[in-house]
Amino acid sequence: MSTTEQDIIVVGGGMAGSALAYGLAGKGRKVTVLDAPTDTNKASRANVGLIWCQSKFLHLPDYAKWGFISARLFPALTKELEEISEHTIPVNYLGGVIPVLSAEEYASRGEYIDKLREALGEYKGCMIDRTELERKLPGIGWGPEVCGAAWCEEDGVIDPLALLRAFRVALPRVGATYRQTLVYDVQPHAGGYRVTTRDGVFDAERLVLAAGLANRRFVQFAMPDLPVYPDKGQVLLVERMPYVMPIPVLGATQTFGGTTIIGFRHEHSGHHTRVVPSDVATEGQWAIRVWPELGKKRVIRAWAGLRVMPEDKMAIYSHLPGHPKVTLVNTHSAVTMAAAHARLLADFALGGDLPETAQGMTLKRFGYDC
Ligand SMILES: Cc1cc2nc3c(=O)[nH]c(=O)nc-3n(C[C@H](O)[C@H](O)[C@H](O)COP(=O)(O)OP(=O)(O)OC[C@H]3O[C@@H](n4cnc5c(N)ncnc54)[C@H](O)[C@@H]3O)c2cc1C
């Protein structure tokens, strides 16, 4: 068994762990990321890649603001990652749309936007009519029922695997270590923390727990239960078509390679990751009403992934009760929040304060003393 002394160990190198580790390395700390594929923690490799700020969430205005803060940090981050990693990251910062299929839906989405604008003080979005939608996305033959869309100019879309790969390549180049190894256990040890892995033990003064749903197991030395549950998403992948969607459409998003990902389900079904065709058929039918061309194409793949969902749907950035040197990161939108995680969370993991907008995102809101 080997023992390695680190300033800080990040358990989990998915979207959240990689972004925060990148930020920590930028602070000159000796950081090691320990990550290995597991069956249930695949969200970072199963998502759509939306940088999505609109519709998240009227009842959580600070979380909504946090999304906008992250979106604004993205362009500089991806440019820097491309330079350091020497990998291209396909990304568009051109806004996003949610198509609507009836006058009622148009009105209710409009009301939501008005309320969001009031709650946030500022909101760069509005409802657009069909003519404006056709102007923004002229290559899509919209279905006859499409009467307009909710539009937000601060949304975007990124190739999520390219982003993850760029973090991976960049991490060692900014001084961090990435070790592919399965973590078995995390425990307090000699005033710091000991992480037991398939390849030996690693000791560190500080820890970040960013292992997705597996965080529920790793926090147990400090708290019996974590208010986070698996939220299943199922998607269909439609065969390649000419690239016509530089502005992403929520629910039927064309990838940079020309395929289209259909799906927006949120299901509460434990750790079940099977695709159930009758479930996803509803989204398939909706997508064909939005973009009838999809109905003429083949579905070439389908998959399911488990989002990491805090019980109140807001992110959790928190120290653990009684363990101020352990930082927990759990969010269901770790692609959208990646820039905020990379740029704004490192100080907190090193003992400083959370940024003002995120100060309500600790475990204190669930009654924990931390
Ligand atoms: C269908 C779907 C679509 C989505 N679309 C979007 C979107 O468009 N935009 C957006 O912002 N978000 C989206 N999400 C959510 C997003 O994918 C997640 O928020 C994000 O992936 C969570 O990242 P994470 O790093 O916290 O967790 P995970 O992705 O679960 O990563 C955890 C990491 O820890 C590792 N790990 C776990 N246990 C161990 C262990 N014992 N030892 C070693 N390593 C371990 C895992 O292998 C993994 O690499 C979507 C999710 C799904 C399922």
Task: Tell whether 74 is covered by a domain.
Answer: no
Per-residue model confidence (pLDDT) at position 208: 98
CATH at 28: 3.50.50.60
Dihedral Cα 293, 105, 156, 15, nearest 10 deg: -100
Query: Is there a single domain that holds both residue 249 and residue 304?
Result: yes
Query: Is there a single domain that holds both residue 143 and residue 242?
Result: yes
List pLDDT tens digits, range 170-211. Answer: 999 999 999 999 999 999 999 999 999 999 999 999 999 999
Q: How much distance in Å is there from the Cα of 211 to the middle of ligand 1?
A: 8
Residue 113: both structure tokens together: 């936007």
Query: Is there a single domain that holds both residue 124 and residue 210?
Result: no
Higher pLDDT, 51 or 275: 51
In angstroms, the CA 157 to CA 79 distance is 15
Domain that holds residue 135: 93-157+229-310
Query: Is there a single domain that holds both residue 101 and residue 202?
Result: no
Query: Is there a single domain that holds both residue 150 and residue 237?
Result: yes
Give the number of the atom of ligand 1 that is nearest the alpha carbon of residue 234.
1
Give the number of the atom of ligand 1 that is nearest the alpha carbon of residue 49.
8
Query: Is there a single domain that holds both residue 327 and residue 345?
Result: yes
Q: How much distance in Å is there from the Cα of 124 to the middle of ligand 1?
A: 28
Q: How much distance in Å is there from the Cα of 10 to the middle of ligand 1?
A: 14
Query: Is there a single domain that holds both residue 138 and residue 168?
Result: no
Give the number of the atom of ligand 1 that is nearest the alpha carbon of residue 218.
41
Query: Is there a single domain that holds both residue 7 and residue 148?
Result: no
Q: With pLDDT > 70 as the criterion, what percentage of the chain qualifies?
A: 98
Q: Which of 10, 33, 38 to mutate to test the pocket of ligand 1 (most atoms within 8 A of CB)?
A: 38
**Among 275, 290, 310, where does a domain finish?**
310
Query: Is there a single domain that holds both residue 184 and residue 269?
Result: no
Q: How much distance in Å is there from the Cα of 268 to the middle of ligand 1?
A: 16
Per-residue model confidence (pLDDT) at position 5: 60
Query: Is there a single domain that holds both residue 300 and residue 331?
Result: no
- Say yes or no to pLDDT of 6 above 70: no
Surface-to-core class of residue 94, CB atoms within 10 Å of its CB (0-12 exposed, 13-18 middle, 19+ buried): middle
Q: How much distance in Å is there from the Cα of 12 to the middle of ligand 1?
A: 9
Task: Tell whether 84 is covered by a domain.
Answer: no
**How many residues would you count in the chain?**
370
In angstroms, the CA 285 to CA 36 distance is 37
With CA atoms as reference, report the closest residue to 336 among 106, 96, 42, 10: 96
On average, the pLDDT of the chain sits at 95
The DSSP H or E segment spanning 310 is: strand 299-310
List pLDDT tens digits, range 328-355. Answer: 999 999 999 999 999 999 999 999 999 9
Q: Count CA atoms within 13 Å of residue 347 on its CB side.
A: 10
Task: Tell whether 69 is covered by a domain.
Answer: no
- Mean pLDDT across the stretch 36-61? 89
Closest residue by CA, ligand 1 atom 50: 47
Q: What's the number of domains the chain is made of?
A: 2
In angstroms, the CA 114 to CA 263 distance is 26
Per-residue model confidence (pLDDT) at position 353: 97
Q: Is 7 left (phi over 0), alpha (psi -120 to 50) or beta?
A: alpha
Per-residue model confidence (pLDDT) at position 270: 82
**Among 274, 289, 310, where does a domain finish?**
310
Residues with CB under 6 A from ligand 1: 12-17, 34-38, 41, 43-44, 46-50, 52, 182-183, 210-212, 214, 233, 235, 305, 307-308, 331-336
- Mean pLDDT across the stretch 30-53? 91
Task: Tell whether 173 is covered by a domain.
Answer: yes
Task: Tell whether 58 is covered by a domain.
Answer: no
Q: State the residue for tokens 């930028």.
A: 26
Of 34-43, 74-83, 181-190, 284-293, the one with minimum mean pLDDT is: 34-43
**Among 267, 287, 310, where does a domain finish?**
310
Task: Tell whether 64 is covered by a domain.
Answer: no
Query: Is there a single domain that holds both residue 211 and residue 301?
Result: no
Per-residue model confidence (pLDDT) at position 1: 38
Query: Is there a single domain that holds both residue 171 and residue 295?
Result: no
Q: How much distance in Å is there from the Cα of 47 to the middle of ligand 1?
A: 8
